[in-house]
Chain A
Amino acid sequence: MKQSSIARDALLAGVALLVLVLLPTLFPAKSLSDFVIRLSAFAIFATSLNLLIGYGGMVSFGHGLFYGLGAYSFALLMQKMGTSVPVAFALTILINGAVAVVIGAICIRLKEIYFSFLTLAFQMLLHSCIIAWTSVTGGDQGLTGGIPRPAFLGIRLDDPHHLYIFCCVVLVGSLLVMRHLMQSSFGYTLRMTRDNPRRAGFLGIQVWRIRLLAFVVAGIFGGVGGMLMSLFVSSAYPDFAYWTVSGEAVFMILLGGMNVFLGPLAGAGILLLLNDMVTRFTEHYSLVLGVVILFFALGLRKGLLGFVVDVWARRAARKQPAAVAAQPVQRA
């Protein structure tokens, strides 16, 4: 199996960033840059969830907690504390990380469906808090008053063009970091705890520590996604912490393929496209989405990119019999 290298990934990232940055000059439509910005928020979020689900085998139903937390933390820091963007960014990461440590430490001790439930419970707990704490969060109306965007390092985030580039950079940067982490020793150990936690224990690995670390990393990047979204809408809404956020992220992962690193990115893109296209024709977006999800859940289970990877592998196998054994193992 070809191992990726830092250089190769960095190169890919650089090219992608370049393309993204040049995109508005080729296609100046605002809807396109808006799309990319929304995509960046969701893609980071979905990829962070996949660290848990795909790489760690931990099915969290409550990852939306970090999305909402990230959005509200950042928005509140900027609005009420008047911090600069970089400081708010850093503090949001710290907050998400700290919360992830606490919640992770509690949830990780449970297995499977109970883990999933508890994560969901915590998310809905946050949601309840957000709705209840009207004085701080604005309750179910969301944060009113917008988010100030003081300039930093010559970047003015109130300029849509700057915002666009900022989001692209954060997107590419976040994916690059997450990719690197998954390709590090830690990433492989995480895969081992997913495949066979018992054996991992018998190799001397403290499985809970690995899982907690994964949970914290996922929580941090989930928050980054939420942060981008709050920047985009200049506010934060309780919906950001509603269970549907988690559900849609799960679907993005399934859609794009959970065993491929860029799967969630692809899934996010497809889902957003679907959203945009369908809402143009009908207000019954939920119906269409539901049918599409069914189609994928019952049919194309490995997701689009997973499907593509499979096809490639099969083609390679036809040319080289020895490579047959290298086909991806069916994971349920």
Chain B
Amino acid sequence: MLLFLVAAGLSLIFGTLKVTNFMHGSLYMLGAYFAYTLYNLTGSYTIAVIGAAIGVGLFALVFERLFMSRVYSADVLLQLLVCYAFILILDDAVKIIWGAEFLSMGMPAAFQRPPILLAGGVLPVFYLFLIGVTLLVAGALGYLITRTRYGKIVRAAAINPTMTSALGINTALVFGSVFALGGLLAGLAGALAVPVRSMVAGMGFSILIESFIVTVIGGMGSVAGALVGALLIGLVRSFGTIGFPLFTEGIMFLFMTVFLIARPSGLFGKDQ
């Protein structure tokens, strides 16, 4: 479910800006660390989550304006390198500020309840919360993109930025906001992950790879695709861990490989 949030952000950014944000995983990591600190400062998980999401969104905006926008028209290589550079910088920054050891936060008080029995399975309350939040966000995103004026502008800018700008719309603002939105989603995911995962510098990478797989399968640029893809990958991972615990990642890559060969634009993707 968290995977959906991260993948949706990645997909949005790619769909609108035609740029693959390789450091998306680092945004996730930042979200986790921000939330951790905020929770320790305020004791309120709600503040931590919201604060982290907004914080990462802002960071993403700054990153996009100052760095990413310079390499939009350049080789993919340069985009990769700029992102790679940031991954390195952020990983070390996190180590410096928060230390290099694993950190964990523990479950916030609100969720320390006995798990719920659902359809023969045991479901911790927090997971329900996660699913709820994710569905809410998915719905909100869908609404934002298809029904609001903002969504229309974003889609227009994705299809033809020059024309959109000629119509008087500040494309720089649009691009920045989309990137910020993607970052917000990733940060939100990170913040939500903190109670159930331990954090360490470099935790962004595996979720980045998985998000790639999801966006490839679901289709770059499609939020619905990200949802379906995330579900699929989640399933694959669950079955994989049962059957081939060490090779689960391999199975996911196999999946992605098959998709890239058979249907590169993914399930819902727009053809390039």
Contacts and interface: CB of A to CB of B under 8 A. Distances in A.
| A/B contact in complex, CB under 8 angstroms | yes
Interface residues of A, number: 41
B82 interface: yes
Interface stretch (B118-126, B148-156, B180-188, B242-250): B242-250
Interface in B42-79: 67, 70-71, 73-78
Nearest to B261: A106
A35 B213 CA distance: 38
Most buried by B among A106, A254, A291, A293: A293
Most buried by B among A117, A243, A297, A332: A297
Contact of B76 (A110, A112, A122): A112
Given A59-B76, A117-B260, A284 B92 contact: yes
Contacts of B95: 284
Contacts of B249: 124, 128
A121 interface: yes
Contact of A128 (B86, B90, B247): B247
Interface string B233-272: 0000000000010110110011011001100100000000
Given A113-B20, A114-B264, A118-B260, A290 B85 contact: yes
B253 to A, nearest CB: 4
B80 interface: yes
B214 interface: no
A125 interface: yes
Interface residues of B, number: 42
A332 B84 contact: no
Contact of B88 (A112, A124, A289, A332): A289
Given A290-B92, A291-B89, A297-B85, A122 B77 contact: no
Given A53-B77, A106-B261, A293 B256 contact: no
Contacts of A298: 67, 70-71, 82
Contacts of A247: 80-81, 84
Nearest to A124: B253
B236 to A, nearest CB: 13
A243 B216 CA distance: 18
A132 B84 contact: no
Nearest to B18: A113
Interface of B: 20, 67, 70-71, 73-78, 80-82, 84-93, 95-96, 205, 209, 212-213, 216, 244, 246-247, 249-250, 253-254, 256-257, 260-261, 264
Q: Which 7 A-B pairs have the closest CB atoms?
A: A290-B88, A290-B89, A128-B250, A287-B92, A132-B246, A293-B85, A286-B88
30 contacts: A59-B77, A110-B261, A110-B264, A112-B76, A113-B20, A116-B76, A117-B212, A117-B260, A118-B257, A118-B261, A121-B213, A125-B254, A129-B247, A131-B246, A139-B246, A247-B81, A251-B84, A286-B89, A286-B92, A287-B92, A287-B96, A290-B88, A293-B85, A294-B67, A296-B81, A297-B71, A297-B82, A298-B67, A298-B70, A301-B78
Given A125-B250, A293-B82, 9 more contacts: A106-B257, A110-B264, A122-B257, A247-B81, A250-B77, A251-B84, A286-B88, A287-B92, A297-B85
